[in-house]
Structure 1
């Protein structure tokens, strides 16, 4: 038996070596037939002895179907990366890092940090993997999840042949991170075989990999022939590295598949040039990438720079510009929103853009359709573009000819059949009380986080309450009873109680949020805050005239007309009255007196950008407004001051370009805002 055990281990070592040469180094020494002979010997010997080693390659084929995924707490947090959309963002990130290094070196002249140097790697578009090795054995694999807790997918990951089940390093526990993916050539071959068998093909490589790794049947995962590149060590009991290059060498020496595209630079300008070169050859890779990752090379510098609440300060993801593609415009439907406005939504022939299958695209209105020469484009080729996570848009027709069927503008509401009205560039359904999508949209908006912030509420809840309990108005929410909710499908005692508690909690709300929740046309959060700060009373606002309103900041004729018309509508007044009768109490927050009219923010237009470590941006904005500042969301020539926290990006770069005063020292900001330290 001892001899057979030795022979088992010899066969395992031999097969694992050839797996490493084939799947990790792409340098096979054996033909497939020769490999199969050795593999079959191992299978036969395992069957004969009944012994299966933990690192046996026969355990990669996938076992029984799992009942579900268990949570796995990562030993160290998996961080997201701040994003740079362009060269200015990249330079702003570099400027922040350089400033922190300069500050540290000024205080530690006897042991300064080295000059900044950088590593550039590909940003893979797959599924993040966190692999745990203990004593050299792969003992767990998990998804990223929340960054702190993921889902254990060890059985699925064991099917990835480029991931070693055992590594030479056996000193304690380490966690390594990488990206699971399906190579494009593998996807193509898989789909060809699938089509031959008459089965449904996979739409794109990213979804194919994610679906395989989260499939409860590991045999399905094995069939996808996934791959993985490893790029980081997130946790180790006793390992330390001087720089990123040293860490990469450790990964390679321990049999991990490291992507060859790892490049080192001494200047940020060289990094920017490399990212342009990377974008140009994006389509040449046999796997999906959606950008590059830039990291500071020196590990001690990383430790000094540390992290914000969300991101490491020593790394940034450079996102490529939007991708464009050609596809066929199949149809245009008109969707009704909460204000009654109809928005055209285009359905196109499915096309893959940066790993995402696109089938629906946005169109703003009939004017947008005409400007883009799409009036006669049904069935024609069109250009579409997708930028990061934004809904794809149609850019225009490929040809100039009117060679397609006409996009017709409806005369009646597709939801309720009411005659439509043209108001400016858009068409509206005037049926406020009987149009289902309008009512559901208004109720969902009313309950949203920036409005009444009713916990556990969703559009599905709104639809269910509309269909089954005849909820037609936001005020109806405050008159629902436990006995009504408990009778609904999927509503248990706990869910019904929690929803009623959320309704009750929302009754004490600040006036600005209540006004935003009402959904007054042409008003957003900024306008409703202006109204709340000025009138400080719902009654006074409801009595306001157009002449009074146009005198307020950022309120013109159109917005003033919308506000007056809204509160003049008997239906809206009745709804508000019913909410107040149910106990809803909108209040105006106490406005702190401006202690010193000469403070540096009084009368200034201020923009907040980035993350503030010791206070939230909302808190800072309230302090600024109490000191007489006007807080806006975008930088322009009218901006007086930009307050830049951690991870400030394009707004900071624009402020620097325009020569606007910048406050980027949070302690100084707190002093100017009047905090007592």
Structure 2
């Protein structure tokens, strides 16, 4: 195949994807895949010196949708040149410095200053261009092709972060920004929607380009603003002045805006943004670097498509598409049977992905995945967790059917549907449930039985008929030494670890039991409130809901768990075998005159100088109540590295966030 034919095919393919993405809001491939095709075309054009008339490299945006009034922008909305790595970014900066030096050589009387830089987030939403006349919002438009966009004033007026009037009354201005859908809002919307959205970008674009403003309003969109494209009666010396103008005029400016005098500092900031990306409550796919001084911007000017004074630095994609190959069903310690998807191996966010979560039966149905085997699906990875399948690329039910099991894949017991989940109720004889319960019981945060693993649990179950945690305390040396790979020393070590675990406190024991819907914070609070195992077991749902952070569902889970005769018998056996489950011997000395006194605090993400447990203990000693979930009652969220949904919810609720560990330590010590 010759170069011309390859270019023609690439142009046709890219233009089709542009149409799907920009006009229909129904992308067929991920941004990462599109970028690879686009870069291939750019390289071929550079190599051959030929640019086809309809090449997407020669246009800024897409075609207009029918049904919207065209709006001609007062000044062009430019696209941005891209840098895929730091080396390409340095090449861009070297070109900026050369152009500035050339200008100064020709204009020695009025030289340009040394370039400084602004770094902004590159949002993954829909570009907005707002027109204000004498302080009133008179028009809002999409980017369109960069010269003419679609009028969407009624839709944009539903975004509460868009000011309808501004203090600046001296003429006409156009302000650019990005319409977005926050991830917390998307999650809430999808939990109630009959047809869930594939992602936040589609949610924003589809809402803003919908002819019914009520649909737009239902998406609860947000917007950030970053540029004044046209202005009468006002001029700016630099980017900082322009951003101050936007803030003063009640435009929402993203807080992740930083300024630097040296380019090395820019690259360090980019690394920090990419590291914290997963904790944001909105999608970004990179950062934008801009020269701040407006005289330099004017001197550098524009190419046919891009400003020379700005560049977009693209991050590694967190979303892509691949083929859904198969679905298997796994049984957890509570008996919940969950689907696990096997997909065609694909690179995503720096790792090779082959397994994805599907959550439950309801998730499969809501995402139109019931007939998706063998078809292309969207997947997303964030926070270093197993990637999630977002939905099918196409709406058709054109793939193989995912068969929901009627009986347990491990033991054959009939399954029960509870809500959106399938459950196996065979607690006594379902191997995966038994092994998971025993492994959880022995884990570090529970009974902390040293040297214990899921392999040990499996071997003890298969060869010594260990079916529940109580059975562990009846094991003998003679039984263990007969096992394969169990010598005398290993047997003695396990028996000693089991003996040591009998002295664990009540909070650890309650957590070890694996009560559904409860975590470490809840079980510790139960232990400190009741100080007695029997009192916890006899607590009513009404009593429990009076305690902090225990709602109706958690209360019913606790009461239902201790009403199970199997659980009660197992606990009684452990107590008879010497397990103490002892409450704290004395109330802790609590400081009631500290920054954290009386405040409800949530820890999320990972800390580097303290463990989460150490931080929680120190907070409680200072009078704080450490909770496991964020709610309107939360006062402070402490966010470590790779903080996720709890940080996002805190930002949504306007809760104070401490994300600097040095500041946390200072407050703990003061």
| TM-score using structure 2 length | 0.50
CA distance in 2, matches of 1:446, 1:606: 27
Kept after mapping to 2: 8 A contact 1:329/1:347: yes
Is 1:541 aligned with 2:540? no
Aligned to 1:395, the other structure's residue is in SS state strand
Offset at residue 469 of structure 1 (A): 0.4
CA distance in 1, matches of 2:452, 2:273: 47
Q: Deviations over 1:413-440 (max 9, x none)?
A: 1111111111112110111101111111
> Relative to structure 1, is the Cα distance of residues 656 and 459 closer, same or farther in structure 2, using a 3 angstrom cutoff?
closer
Offset at residue 377 of structure 1 (A): 0.7
Residue equivalent to 1:161: none
Kept after mapping to 2: 8 A contact 1:594/1:628: no
State how 1:234-313 maps to structure 2 within 5 Å: 266=262, 270-271=266-267
Q: Deviations over 1:639-660 (max 9, x none)?
A: 4345688x79789999899583
Offset at residue 559 of structure 1 (A): 1.5
Offset at residue 506 of structure 1 (A): 0.9
Residue equivalent to 1:514: 509
Is 1:441 aligned with 2:433? no
Kept after mapping to 2: 8 A contact 1:334/1:414: yes
CA distance in 2, matches of 1:644, 1:384: 26
Select 1:326's aligned residue among 321, 326, 329: 321
Offset at residue 576 of structure 1 (A): 0.7
Select 1:485's aligned residue among 480, 483, 489: 480
Q: CA RMSD in A?
A: 3.8
Kept after mapping to 1: 8 A contact 2:595/2:667: no
State how 1:25-44 maps to structure 2 within 5 Å: none
Is 1:496 aligned with 2:494? no
CA distance in 2, matches of 1:520, 1:640: 27
State how 1:405-484 maps to structure 2 within 5 Å: 405-484=400-479
Aligned to 1:606, the other structure's residue is in SS state strand
Select 2:656's aligned residue among 649, 654, 660: 660
Select 1:387's aligned residue among 382, 393, 408: 382
Kept after mapping to 2: 8 A contact 1:326/1:383: yes
Select 1:403's aligned residue among 398, 414, 417: 398
Residue equivalent to 2:238: none
Offset at residue 627 of structure 1 (A): 4.5
Kept after mapping to 2: 8 A contact 1:322/1:387: no
Kept after mapping to 1: 8 A contact 2:438/2:457: yes
> Relative to structure 1, is the Cα distance of residues 433 and 634 closer, same or farther in structure 2, using a 3 angstrom cutoff?
closer
CA distance in 1, matches of 2:484, 2:593: 61
Select 1:583's aligned residue among 573, 578, 582: 578
Aligned to 1:332, the other structure's residue is in SS state strand
Kept after mapping to 1: 8 A contact 2:337/2:423: yes
Aligned to 1:394, the other structure's residue is in SS state strand
Kept after mapping to 2: 8 A contact 1:336/1:342: yes
CA distance in 1, matches of 2:355, 2:665: 47
Is 1:344 aligned with 2:342? no
CA distance in 2, matches of 1:401, 1:545: 49
Q: Deviations over 1:269-290 (max 9, x none)?
A: 73378669999xxxxxxxxxx9
Aligned to 2:422, the other structure's residue is in SS state strand
Select 1:372's aligned residue among 351, 367, 378: 367
The unaligned stretches of length 5 or more in structure 2 are 1-115, 120-259, 276-284, 288-312
Aligned to 2:417, the other structure's residue is in SS state strand
The unaligned stretches of length 5 or more in structure 1 are 1-116, 121-263, 280-289, 293-317, 673-677
Q: Deviations over 1:10-53 (max 9, x none)?
A: xxxxxxxxxxxxxxxxxxxxxxxxxxxxxxxxxxxxxxxxxxxx
| TM-score using structure 1 length | 0.50
Offset at residue 323 of structure 1 (A): 3.2
Residue equivalent to 1:669: 667
